[in-house]
């Protein structure tokens, strides 16, 4: 029996495994949360100027709920929603100084999503549209709820 060749074979397998492991992207530790970069743009009918897109980063807990990807103010609440496949549709109501209602949808992809929403101001009936998209950009620690 030739132990030299056996050891060489084991060493070669270990080297291949080490190279393959080093080439893998870093895994996220269990329990890490997700960092998302979100771009949103408002469009108002009749407005000749276009507002620039707003970009922000948010941190959401692991396995977030669909409604966590809907842009909303503190006084806004999802009042109706439905998930069919990769599409989430919703209705939202906002109270406060400028009450409004919204209807929208989010289409989820792999590590990304696209959404749109139509917002109607309750007092005036004026409406605006928002288009938004997000992409997962890393990990973070979400604030505890």
What would the two tokens of residue 99 be? 């009450």
The CA distance from 16 to 145, in Å, is 44
- pLDDT given at position 124: 92
The model's pTM: 0.70
Q: List Cα–Cα distances, 13 to 18, 22, 24, 43, in angstroms.
A: 9, 14, 17, 58
Between CA 72 and CA 82 the distance in angstroms is 17
> Tell me, what's the pLDDT at 145?
63
Residue pLDDT, tens place only, 80-97: 999 999 999 999 999 988
pLDDT of residue 134: 95
- Domains of the chain plus CATH, in order, are 33-140 (2.40.160)
pLDDT at residue 25 in the model: 32
pLDDT at 94 (0 to 100): 94
- Give pLDDT < 70 ranges for the chain: 1-31, 48-50, 145
What pLDDT score does 26 carry? 33
Q: Burial of 59 by CB count in 10 Å (0-12 exposed, 13-18 middle, 19+ buried)?
A: middle
Looking only at the bridges linking them, the beta strands covering 76-84 and 33-43 are: unpaired
Q: Give SS3 for 47.
A: coil
**What is residue 117's predicted lDDT score, i.e. its pLDDT?**
96
Predicted pLDDT of residue 10: 29
């Amino acid at each position: 029996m030739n132990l030299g060749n056996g050891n060489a074979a084991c060493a070669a397998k270990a080297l291949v495994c080490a190279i393959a492991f080093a080439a893998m992207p870093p895994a996220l530790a269990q329990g890490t949360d997700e960092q998302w970069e979100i771009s949103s743009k408002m469009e108002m009918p009749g407005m000749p100027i276009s507002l620039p897109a707003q970009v922000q980063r948010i941190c959401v807990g692991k396995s977030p709920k669909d409604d966590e990807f809907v842009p909303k103010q503190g006084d806004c609440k999802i009042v109706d929603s439905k998930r069919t496949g990769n599409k989430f549709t919703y209705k939202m109501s906002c109270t406060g100084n400028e009450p409004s209602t919204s209807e929208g949808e989010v289409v989820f992809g792999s590590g990304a999503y696209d959404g749109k929403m139509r917002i109607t101001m309750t007092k005036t009936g004026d409406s605006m549209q928002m288009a938004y998209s997000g992409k997962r950009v890393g990990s973070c620690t979400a604030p505890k709820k």
